[in-house]
Structure 1
């Protein structure tokens, strides 16, 4: 059987792959992430069609990468070569038998109240709104970047999450509610294009403004922890954060020392 004409270079193949991802309704952020990891292979071979399993293992074993980066790279390479194999561009999928990447479960690190108070009482209104969306809405930085006035539905915010998923986040903090009501267009537009600033830009702004050692993601952990302590409802917290699995939500919840100590004492009493 005649092989379909395949893209001759990495850029051409990546462009065609991105088109296929958009057709599958993958988000722009996902497409950028895949392009980032595929770019790591450009210096390995001149075209994707001469990549071997060993090449991919070596790339994933990059000593500069942490476990999460290796896991992401494996997912990207498997997706790309599965697409290439499905189109008949290659006979054998070099990523098929890539070993799974085990990433140790991180300990939740919710921002303490002094950090939250510091974060949401800034003189800069734009920065304050970013911090409030993280601390009181639990939004990811990419979700903060995309906030638009059309998504403000009275006391609920329509959030555009990972993978094109959407969720409704109740806005219970009255000053955040008031700021959202005043929006007209994107909350954080690029001054030149009018489009929203990037997630990376939001992350850098927030990290630079928070006390050393704390990030926007710690604000999200804080909301998860406080919400779970207040309700004991893991599935409600899961929906609030936009997770699809309760195991993911559990990684965001840092139980207070007092509750952990009570559990330990209960174990002693039971004996």
Structure 2
């Protein structure tokens, strides 16, 4: 069977068992789609129809992975001179895109603050980037939850936890409360949906796509950059450190700084 020969060739090239099984599954799915036809009868249109089918049930990067597996098989057939009319000479595959960055860098945070139009908007952004609060936690925050050195956060599952207050956030909270901007029952006086919309609208004015989740992700990302994973887990109030691990980013700056900060030099 041609597929078995192809997979044996991948093994000989040193491909991992996981890669080989992944390719096999994707190629077999394509075979089921086209049905029992000779490989020589498969056209570029068949592949385009399959692409459209895949796009209806998966993201673009996943669709690309399926197409790449099948393309490798057809390229192998062509190299072996088993089938020279390779339809992938016609079918083009877009390079897989990196997932969108779900956190803000310091200049973007400054731009976001610059586009706030009220003390409430400024405080909402600050609660996200300086304390990592979720929208529901901002909504539940009361004046009495604000203390000189900590915030009492009413989190998911009715968990109540204290988190330290960043100096910039403390100053904002003081001005906000003393200035009489707090709501009658809650600190912000907004619904959870309204809080989410505030973040989105400030982001639009700043020319960015921002959400309350991205503000929290920003806090988590920069906390890890200046401390460690366990510290970030505690500050983000995660019960499982694996949840915190999604905030790790192997970006170019982090890699450069890690190498530059090695604790030894050549004298």
TM-score normalised to structure 2 length: 0.51
Change in CA separation of 1:120 and 1:195 when aligned onto 2, cut-off 3 Å: closer
Higher RCO, 1 vs 2 (CA within 8 Å, ≥6 residues apart):
1
- Name the structure 2 match of 1:155: 149
How far has the Cα of 1:229 moved from its partner? Answer: 1.0
Q: Which of 225, 229, 243 pairs up with 2:225?
A: 229
Change in CA separation of 1:114 and 1:195 when aligned onto 2, cut-off 3 Å: closer
Q: How many pairs does the alignment contain? A: 160
- Name the structure 2 match of 1:220: 216
> Contact 2:199–2:210 (CA<8 Å) still a contact in 1?
no
Q: Let me know the Cα RMSD of the aligned residues.
A: 3.4
Distance between the aligned counterparts of 1:194 and 1:228, measured in 2?
Answer: 28
How far has the Cα of 1:263 moved from its partner? Answer: 7.7
Distance between the aligned counterparts of 1:195 and 1:216, measured in 2?
Answer: 15
Change in CA separation of 1:142 and 1:225 when aligned onto 2, cut-off 3 Å: same
- Name the structure 2 match of 1:239: 234
Higher helix share: 2
> Contact 1:145–1:197 (CA<8 Å) still a contact in 2?
yes
Change in CA separation of 1:187 and 1:242 when aligned onto 2, cut-off 3 Å: farther
> Contact 2:224–2:248 (CA<8 Å) still a contact in 1?
yes
How far has the Cα of 1:186 moved from its partner? Answer: 8.9
How far has the Cα of 1:187 moved from its partner? Answer: 4.0
> Contact 2:103–2:215 (CA<8 Å) still a contact in 1?
yes
1:79-122 deviation line (CA, Å, top 9, x unaligned):
xxxxxxxxxxxxxxxxxxxxxxxxxxx87621122321122232
> Contact 1:145–1:187 (CA<8 Å) still a contact in 2?
no
In the alignment, structure 1 segments of 5+ residues that lack a partner are 1-62, 67-105, 265-271
In the alignment, structure 2 segments of 5+ residues that lack a partner are 1-55, 60-98, 260-267
